[in-house]
Structure formats: C-alpha cells, structure tokens
Copies of this chain bind each other. A is one copy, B any other.
C-alpha cells in the first residue's frame, strides 16, 4: 500500500490480459469472465490459460504463462483457493503487474483462510505484483471496453465509478444505474482486499479524468486514518458517496463471514462522515439514487426549491418531503406570479408548489412545461422538482382487464393519445435543462417501474433524473445542497 495509486493506470487500461482457469465449461467462473471480456468488446490481447485446451470460446488457449506471445498486463485468477499462491508466484515470475483474484475460500471462511491470505500476499510481494481480491467478482473499465465480471454484466459506459467490497452490491448499483441513464467508468469489486484496498481505488479515481462521481460500498476499513485522508482529499474534488455495511452488531457479524471484515463501530463511521465531506447513503437504494443525482445534475446554489405539477396530493407530499430533508419552498417572485397567472387557469394554487391542477393534462402538456421555465428563471429558486406524467403506458396494463368491444374506444381518450405528447414534453424539458443551469428533478406519475415509458429513458439519458417517489426527489436534492455547502465552507 506504499505505492502511489497512479500506478493503477495499467490495471484499468491493459494491453493484454490472461484468464487463468478459463475452460470450455460455462459453470466455471473463468469461462464466464472470459465470455464477459469478449462480449464487452475488449480490443487488447486475451490469453486463456488452460493446459488441457487449445481453443476456448474461439480464442487460442495457452498451456501456461510461459507460452503467451506477450507478457499480460493483468492476470485474472480463477483457480481453487489452495492453488492461488502458486499461480501468483508464476505470475510474478512472468512479470505480470496485476492479479485479479476471483477465487474465494479465504478470510471469509475463517482462520485458515486468513492464513492463506497471508501466503497470497507474500507471493505477490515477492513477485512485485499488486492484487485485487481475493473473493471478488472482477473489474470494469469502460474506457478500455474492459468488462471482466464473473456475473457477465456490462453496465452502460459513462463517468460514474464504483468500488465495492461486495461484488453484488457494486453490480446491482451499476446495473440499476444503467437502467436509469447513468453510465459507468470503472467498477472495482475489491473483495477481501488483501493488497489493494478501497482507499487505494478511491485515491486513483479521485485523479481519474474519466470519473466524475465516486461511489463506494465498504464493510471493513483496514486503515481508518488513511481512509479519512483519502476521503477528505477526494471530496474536495468530486462527490464521494459511501454506503457502509455492518453498522449494526448484526450487520457487523454478517460482514465477518462475507468478506472477513471487522466492520468497526457506527460512531466511528459517523465521525468519519462528518470530517470528510463523504455523502452518506443509508442503504443500496439511496446509493443508486445519489449516484444518479450527482452524475446528472449541477449543484444548486442553495436550498430554495420550486415545485410544480398537475397532482395536488403529490405536491403536498413533496412539500412535506422537502421540509423533512431541510429544503425550503420559498415564495415566488412577483414577476413569476404574474407570469404564472398569464399561462395557468384561474384556479391554480397561486403559490409554491405551483399546482396547475388536472387542467394541465389537456392539450399538449404546455401548461405543465411553462411553469417549469418560470421557476427555473425565478431568482428565488435554486432547483425545481416537477412531476412527469407517464400515463400513455398505462393502457397496455389496463387493456387486458378491459372489455374488448370497449377497448376500441380507447384510442379516442386522453390516455390513448398521451405517449407522443409525453415524448414531446420530454424534448421541451431537455431544452429548458440546457438553457438554465439549475437542477431539475422529476417525480414519475404513472406506472410503477418504467415499462414502455420511452420518454422517461429519454429524459434520463439527456440529464434529467426521474425518481419514483417524492421522498427520493427531495432527499437527493438535499444531499446536493449539503455537498455544495461543504465545498463552500472549504472556500471552493
């Protein structure tokens, strides 16, 4: 851990990679990872290592590391635990810089495994090799089209990065994120962290020009002092979202058998959050919600929120959610009030939230879009929460429960013709987003989930996040405000 993290460049941009333990059987993790590397479109050289095969997945297989045409930059090690030290020794002798140890059966299975970890580290140190894992799922580096995960996931490319001691939580974060318009630069499943640790990866990502937002799931922090230093330096440069597992006695107990981590007390972690500017996620949903918000939104100048939509009950809940998370719904400027009076029906709410009432659902949603622009222009308003209809897609769900001779009328109803209007509205919103540099967060009104809602995907891919609940929308904005204030206090 004394080497500078900048030395990790070759890990994330390998010219060639060996997969030790790939075979013809898809039941083997080595084969799954090899498949994933191919499926992700990696452009470097790939060397499957297997003494019994000459060809695997259409690639030439090599009997040993001595027979590959070039020295691989990275070796992915998928052999049984007891063979790992020997394989690492061979990698070191071959001059390979990095080993990603997928194999499990180490510290997470008790004392014996902990001993085994020491041997692994010793072999790596002798060979001058840096290790990721063991007991990890692999690594993604989208800039190099390098997707090497044993679960074969290929997240969308972009600029969020994740480091996770749990491969599952990192994977779910990157896949849930990909479904919601967030692209990823790096994902490191760091496993038991016998060598390279969360701190090392965060330090690297802090300086990585391809990474704008960093998210970490940690169970155990081995070097608390260094973690604080790294987190502090990182949070000055980019948002660092941390989800900590094992903050309760029960969770800490579970962490021991998961990654062999000593989770540390909640009090220590809470103090860490306060000192460092870390953005704290309470659970895996908050982690994804925050990665999305920090990936897509500019930071607001302050905590004054404008709210608008055609659904009064939701406006009430948004107002509650804002107040609960420390946000403020200020009065609107006189100018905004006058402009709203001009474009809205007489019975609009005449205040913030701007409830345009059901009248906003007629025509082409102009009445929903206009208040958004007025709010974005208002100098009293730092960010806008709006309600996006996803009603067109309701039909496909309602239709099966509908009498057939009735459903023929459906296309004549408002719902039957809403989908194209919704897309038109979304395009208008993206124009507004580009014109005004204020955070614009949507709450989905329609179907649970996103089936058939193309305009929602369009919005998110173009930088306007959509959340499913009032709480989520207010929560992420409150965290953007807190981070902005943290930077402000530092003089940034």
Contacts and interface: CB of A to CB of B under 8 A. Distances in A.
Interface in A248-286: 248-251, 253-255, 257-259, 282-285
Contacts of A470: 283-284
Given A168-B311, A394-B175, A448-B175, A154 B401 contact: yes
A354 B225 CA distance: 33
A374 interface: no
A210 interface: no
A371 B285 CA distance: 27
A152 interface: yes
A358 interface: yes
Contacts of A251: 316-317, 319-320, 323
A468 interface: yes
A41 to B, nearest CB: 6
A114 interface: no
Given A168-B445, A319-B254, A447-B175, A285 B402 contact: no
B451 A166 contact: no
B179 A448 contact: yes
A490 interface: no
A95 interface: no
A44 interface: no
Contact of A357 (B104, B253, B320): B104
A27 to B, nearest CB: 6
A355 B485 CA distance: 41
Contacts of A257: 312, 349-351, 355
Contact of A169 (B176, B314, B323, B355): B314
A447 B284 contact: no
B347 A179 contact: no
A397 B322 CA distance: 34
A26 B320 contact: no
A329 B283 contact: no
A175 to B, nearest CB: 7
B351 A57 contact: no
A398 B156 CA distance: 9
B313 A217 contact: yes
A415 interface: yes
Interface stretch (A32-40, A47-55, A201-209, A430-438): A32-40
Contacts of A27: 362, 414
Interface string A379-397: 0000000000000001001
A302 to B, nearest CB: 16
Contacts of A311: 166, 168
A134 to B, nearest CB: 13
Contact of A406 (B35, B166, B398): B35
Nearest to A310: B168
Contact of A317 (B245, B259, B328, B410): B245
A350 B350 CA distance: 62
Contact of A104 (B179, B284, B316, B347): B347
Nearest to A411: B26
A317 B470 CA distance: 24
A365 to B, nearest CB: 14
A72 interface: no
B154 A358 contact: no
Given A152-B415, A355-B254, A320 B246 contact: yes
A180 B108 contact: no
Contacts of A32: 413-414
Interface string A329-364: 100000000000000000101110101011000100
A321 interface: yes
22 contacts: A39-B398, A39-B406, A109-B347, A167-B313, A168-B313, A168-B445, A169-B313, A175-B394, A176-B448, A178-B397, A179-B397, A219-B313, A245-B317, A245-B320, A250-B328, A250-B329, A251-B316, A251-B317, A251-B320, A253-B319, A283-B469, A288-B448
Q: What are the 7 A-B residue pairs with the smallest beta carbon separation, nearest first?
A: A166-B313, A258-B312, A248-B323, A251-B320, A257-B349, A245-B316, A176-B448
Given A35-B409, A108-B312, A247-B320, 10 more contacts: A57-B406, A166-B313, A168-B311, A249-B323, A254-B315, A254-B349, A257-B350, A259-B312, A284-B317, A449-B450
